[in-house]
Amino acid sequence: MSIHSKFLSVFFFIVFAASSWAQTTSVGGKWDLTVQTPHGAMTLELDLKQDGTAVTGTVLNFRNERQPVKGELKGTQLTLETTSGDDMALSATLKSDGTLAGQLSVAQGDVNWTAKRVGKS
């Protein structure tokens, strides 16, 4: 097998593997969020459904109320906004270990957060 043939084989394997991973990437399900606030860490809940790149669901806010959210997952980048109640925007990266890490923006400022799926250790 020539070097050119080996290179093409490796190239197509990488492209196939990456596209397969991207197609199976999902943020659907229940998540436990840990938000780093100036008053210490707080735990919130996120419950998401995904249809293609569209993401909808609810977030349990700082007042223990569920608020609807909508957004999208492009590759590994998740963006969500509340659709009623308190204005919240969440952005995150879906990491290779299956966790999320990002920033939550509210009127009082921006805070960092991480999340893991409920039931996953």
19-43 pLDDT tens trace: 434 445 899 999 999 998 888 898 8
Residue that the structure tokens 């394997």 belong to: 13
Residue 51 has pLDDT above 50, yes or no: yes
52-65 pLDDT tens trace: 999 999 998 878 88
* Pairing of the two strands 100-106 and 109-117: antiparallel
Residue 16 has pLDDT above 50, yes or no: no
Report which of 53, 65, 63, 11 is spatially closest to residue 28, judged by C-alpha positions: 53
Q: Which of the four pLDDT bands, split at 50, 70 and 90, describes residue 5?
A: low
CATH number of the domain located at residue range(s) 27-117 in this protein:
2.40.128.120
66-75 pLDDT tens trace: 999 999 999 9
